[in-house]
Amino acid sequence: MRNKFLIIFILSIGLYSCEYEKIEAPVGIIENVSFSNDIIPIFNQSCNAVGCHNAGGISPDLSVENAFTVLFTGDMLDLGTPENSELYKRMIDVQKPMPLSGILSKSQTDKVLVWIEEGANDN
Quote the DSSP letter at residue 118: T
Is there a domain that residue 24 lies in? no
Is there a domain that residue 66 lies in? yes
Is there a domain that residue 70 lies in? yes
pLDDT digits (tens, 9 = 90+) for 58-67: 999 999 999 9
Comparing 45-49, 74-78, 109-113, 117-121, which segment has the lowest mean pLDDT? 45-49
Q: 19 φ, ψ to 5°?
A: -105, 140
Domain span holding position 110: 29-117
For residues 72 and 81, give the distance between their C-alpha atoms in angstroms, rounded to a whole number: 14
Residue 104 has pLDDT above 70, yes or no: yes
Q: How many structural domains compose the chain?
A: 1
Is there a domain that residue 88 lies in? yes
- Average pLDDT for the chain: 82
What's the whole-model pTM score? Answer: 0.74
